[in-house]
Amino acid sequence: MAYSCSLLPQRTLEVSAKPIERQIIQPVLPREIDLKEPYWYVVSEENIDEFLADIEKREGQVVFLAMSVPDYELMAYNMQELKRYIRELKEVVVYYRKVTTDGSGEQERG
């Protein structure tokens, strides 16, 4: 035996699609990098005695950190790669910041 609900009135279901406004909170960008510039000494056989005396007088002791020219070039390459990566990442952040803001006067840093 089958039962039905024919005694209840049928209802019409209305479906509509419209965009929903989302409020995307923009994170505060980090402060700019504050790099300090180290001083590089070029020491050769001709100036090593003068260099050692000068450093010992100013610093009190002599400690060497040495690097070959090819390793210095590698370090310079790595710094350029870091700069490129940060620049490209910043472009991505700025793009998403622009497409997710409604232009209501939010200030952009950068």
Task: Encode pLDDT of 17-63 as tens digits.
Answer: 888 877 778 888 788 888 888 888 888 999 999 999 999 999 898 88
Residue 110, number of CB atoms within 10 A of its CB: 9
CA distance readout (Å), 78 to 39, 66, 67, 72, 81: 19, 18, 15, 10, 5
- What's the whole-number mean pLDDT along residues 57-80? 91
Joined tokens for residue 71:
């390793």
Separation between Cα atoms, residue 96 and residue 61, nearest integer Å: 52
Separation between Cα atoms, residue 88 and residue 108, nearest integer Å: 17
* pLDDT tens-digit series, residues 77-102: 999 999 999 999 999 988 888 888 76
Separation between Cα atoms, residue 97 and residue 107, nearest integer Å: 10
* Model pTM score: 0.52
Joined tokens for residue 46:
């001709």
Residue 109 confidence (pLDDT) above 50: no
